């Protein structure tokens, strides 16, 4: 509930890595990367990863239930309210609240990216790879899969060459 509407990865990282120290940054980033690769919602996949790391199958089930139960109820209630009030200009207060939540989600994701980037992007090559990916997807609008199909082998090759040097 602390991050309803987006930015959940930032909140999860703060709770799991910084506040409770259940995982370290490297474990969290590995789990987050894996969560983005497998099908499904990234944050649900991440909750499965964290729950499984901490308490196995029962932990994964508890983490998914804890993540999704209350937000599903809230979304259903807000959806009914929005449909009821959608005749108002701009969708009424609910439309404004939903637009505000989108802006908050973007800010939280940018903040998390900057915080993690300061720690983990200290060399030129990883920084350049991140910038190329961000520009290709965010500015030029290339599809994610196409960018990953090109940049993943490039990133792996540059990392391998850097380790050999």
Tokens of 45: 């996949």
Please give the average per-residue pLDDT across 105-116, as a whole number.
83
pLDDT given at position 5: 56
Say how far apart CA 131 and CA 35 lie, in whole Å.
21
pLDDT given at position 88: 60
3-class SS of residue 113: helix
pLDDT at 119 over 60: yes
For the stretch 61-105, pLDDT in tens is 999 999 888 888 888 898 788 777 766 665 566 667 767 877 888
User: In terms of C-beta distances under 8 Å and separation of at least 24 residues, what long-range contacts does 35-42 make, across chains too?
Assistant: 42/9
pLDDT given at position 4: 55
Say how far apart CA 12 and CA 67 lie, in whole Å.
10
Query: Model pTM?
Result: 0.51
pLDDT at 112 over 80: yes
Angle among Cα 53, 57, 63 to the nearest 5 degrees reads 70
pLDDT at 7 over 80: no
Tokens of 16: 């799991």
Q: Are 45 and 34 in contact (CB under 8 A)?
A: yes
Half-sphere exposure of 35 (CA within 13 A, CB side): 19
pLDDT given at position 94: 64
Say how far apart CA 155 and CA 128 lie, in whole Å.
10
For the stretch 124-145, pLDDT in tens is 888 889 889 989 998 999 999 9
pLDDT at 3 over 70: no
pLDDT at 116 over 60: yes
**Which segments of the chain does DSSP mark as H helices, in order?**
8-13, 25-37, 42-85, 92-120, 124-134, 144-164
3-class SS of residue 136: helix
pLDDT given at position 45: 93
């Amino acid at each position: 509930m602390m991050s309803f509407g987006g930015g959940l990865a930032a909140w999860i990282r703060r709770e799991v890595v910084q506040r409770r120290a259940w995982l370290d940054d490297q474990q969290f980033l590995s789990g987050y990367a894996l969560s983005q690769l497998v099908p499904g919602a990234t944050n649900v996949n991440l909750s499965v990863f964290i729950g499984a790391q901490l308490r196995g199958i029962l932990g994964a089930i508890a983490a998914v239930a804890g993540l999704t139960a209350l937000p599903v109820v809230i979304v259903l209630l807000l959806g009914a309210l929005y449909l009821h009030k959608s005749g108002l200009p701009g969708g009424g207060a609910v439309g404004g609240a939903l637009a505000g939540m989108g802006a908050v989600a973007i800010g939280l994701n940018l903040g998390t990216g900057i915080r993690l980037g300061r720690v983990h992007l200290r060399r030129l090559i990883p920084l350049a790879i991140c910038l190329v990916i961000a520009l290709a997807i965010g500015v030029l609008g290339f599809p994610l899969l196409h960018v990953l199909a090109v940049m993943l082998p490039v990133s792996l090759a540059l990392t391998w060459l850097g380790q050999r040097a």
